[in-house]
Chain A
Amino acid sequence: MSRPQEDLVPRIVRVEEVRQETPDTRSLKLAFDDPAVRDNFTFKPGQFGLVSVFGVGEAVFCIASPPIWKGFFEVSVKEVGKLTSAIHDLEPGDTAGFRGPYGNSFPYEENFGRNMVFVGGGIGLAPLRPLIWQTLADRDKFGDVYIVYGSRSVNDIVYRADLEEWGGRDDVKMVTTVDPGGEDETWKGEVGLVPQILEKVNPPSDSVLVTCGPPIMIKFVFMSAKKLGLKPADVVTTLEMKMKCGVGTCGRCNIGSRYVCRDGPVFTLEQMQALPNEF
């Protein structure tokens, strides 16, 4: 299998829309300038790319929209540093760069017929979002679908419209929660940490669980998954490491012998148990 040569140069994208998700997080709808690239752009849920702001640099973001939405794609960006701040300065009509898609993707067809449990924390819902939409588009191919989403506070909830739509479906069991102290008088969801709520939801032990969130949440979700009797091979997450090339040559994102950009970012708990604790 041969992959395309990589010259590390992004393609031009235009910012079509900016959506303020939370006080520190924005989603950007991006479209390639070149119509041929725009029409042929395909990717799989779980893959990522690098967004460039010219004169500032580039960094890795997961693609946060499903491939079935055509003509554009979305990334969600939390402002934490120089580049993310420059991305937040972008307005509709502005120019940016994008290269990708890179990395592996979430297991999909092999899970047809299974119960699916999606567990997201904060902005960690972003990589799960394309997978959830894809799963719901193929709803009849799966068993029960659970979504557990938690954020620090009511103000930190992302993708409100999506959550509302998912929650309104009778073929999805969705639970939202905020950390204790993060609720307000209007809050109708659960109050508690994501792993506790997951255990309360108590999905069947033969489910496939896909999770993403802060590293510490992921570690606790793993423990809950074990308590719930899920097999390590059925517990899936996506990892975040600093990356520069995206293709496995810059030597930065390795955990042991595995490069998160090339061999990941999606790993099962079973695979992660074989890696050194350096993530």
Chain B
Amino acid sequence: MISKERLLDAIREAGAKDYAVFAPVAKDAGVMLEEIDDPASINFDHVLTVNTLKDVGLPRVEALAEFDRDARTMEAIRDDDGKVLVFGSRPCDAAAQKILDAILIGEITDSRYAARRERMVMMTLACSTADDACFCSSMGYGPHDPTGSDVLLLPKGTEFIVRSHTPRGEEFLRELGMTPDADVEGDPPPELKRKVETGGLKEKLDKNFDDPIWNSVSENCVSCGACFYMCPTCHCFDVIDESGLSRGRRLRLWDTCSFAGFTKMASHQPRVGRHARYRQRIMHKFKYTVDNVNLVACVGDGRCIRACPYGVDLCEVLEALVGNE
């Protein structure tokens, strides 16, 4: 067991050992996972950070290369050296990393993402609270689930039980002179109000591409990208050049199937209509990723539900899809 004060000391020490430390801190947008200098600023009592670990592993703007048309060069830009400690993200966000790993590291590997993951230590803070949008347990995870965490801290009163779940976690604890706790029970995990039964969903999605239900479940959607950009597993991207310059950078940017331009070609638009774009989002998470890497691309963090300005509620959509004959 470790007290909060000693934990903050350990994070301070990690900083001294050249770890870049990302942790939750209160900001204008809410509690954000950001790189910090002073562990004293870390926030412990939020449900979830507004942003996700994508800001560490798959940032919203990433320079891929620098070009110079006159000099005839296109040089790759890499910024993936150095160690990173991600402290205090929640179990759902850690689980999301495992899903992104399965998609982006494998037969075809996104070398930049892989390099960032390689240097990332995940020290996750198990949840003591949940809100109305949390439904991680329905996705097979839970408020104290260790999936994706190297080290999991379980709250017990005002202190934390330290659990290591990977060799990297063990090595990290050794580096900081911490020891994992065995045989100690933490506080019970919070009860989740949201539950969604997804049995049979995949079988439904295998067959319901042309079902009119996609019109009704997407009716509230206004085709913004809030749910995508807040989602810890949505990872689609665009590649663009800084415009009109003979010297500039090639950038990778977040992009989303919510936007009509996502699939629009000069000659052809294969995906027409808001319902079709919303269907792509659901299919991608609950069918296509299952077909390709045998994982559902949703961890039940509920950010899409919280972020939606018009009340599109993923749990209700899933229930409607499961219940639809």
Would you list which residues of chain B between 279 and 322 have a CB under 8 Å from chain A?
A: 280, 283-284, 287-288, 291-292
Chain B: CB-nearest residue to A214: B267
Contacts of A257 in B (CB 8 A): 287-288, 291-292
B107 interface hit (Cβ, 8 Å) = yes
Of the candidates A12, A58, A251, which one forms a contact with B239 in the assembled complex, judged by CB atoms under 8 Å apart? Answer: A58
Report chain A residues within 8 Å CB of B248.
Answer: 54-55
| Number of chain A residues close to chain B: CB under 8 A | 46
Judged by a CB distance under 8 angstroms, whether B54 is at the interface is no
A242 and B262 contacting across the interface, CB-CB below 8 Å:
yes
Interface residue A40 (Cβ < 8 Å from any Cβ of B): no
Q: A8-B252, A52-B74 are in contact. Are A250 and B109 (CB under 8 A)?
A: no
| Contacts of B239-271 to chain A: CB distance below 8 A | 239-246, 248, 250, 252, 255, 257, 262-268, 270-271
Give the total of B residues in contact with A, Cβ under 8 Å. 55
A5 to B109, CA, bound (A): 5
Closest residue to B240 on the A side, CB-wise?
A: A57
Q: Is the interface of B mostly helix, strand, loop or mixed?
A: mixed
Minimal Cβ-Cβ distance residue in A for B256: A251
- In Å, the complex CA distance between A56 and B240 comes to 8
| Residues in B whose Cβ lies below 8 Å from that of A6 | 108-111
Contact B239 A252 (CB under 8 A): no
Q: Does B235 contact A (CB under 8 A)?
A: yes
Q: Are B239 and A244 in contact (CB under 8 A)?
A: yes
Task: List 22 A-B pairs, Cβ < 8 Å.
Answer: A5-B111, A6-B109, A7-B112, A8-B65, A8-B239, A8-B250, A54-B248, A55-B69, A55-B241, A58-B241, A241-B263, A244-B238, A245-B239, A248-B108, A249-B103, A249-B235, A254-B288, A256-B209, A257-B288, A278-B270, A278-B271, A278-B276
Which residues of B have CB within 8 Å of A33?
A: 72
**In the bound complex, CA of A134 to CA of B104 (Å):** 35
Can you name the residue of chain B whose Cβ is closest to the Cβ of A276? Answer: B209
Contact pattern, B 41-79, Cβ under 8 Å of A = 1, otherwise 0: 000000000000000000000001101110011111000
Question: Does B141 count as interface, using CB distance less than 8 angstroms?
Answer: no
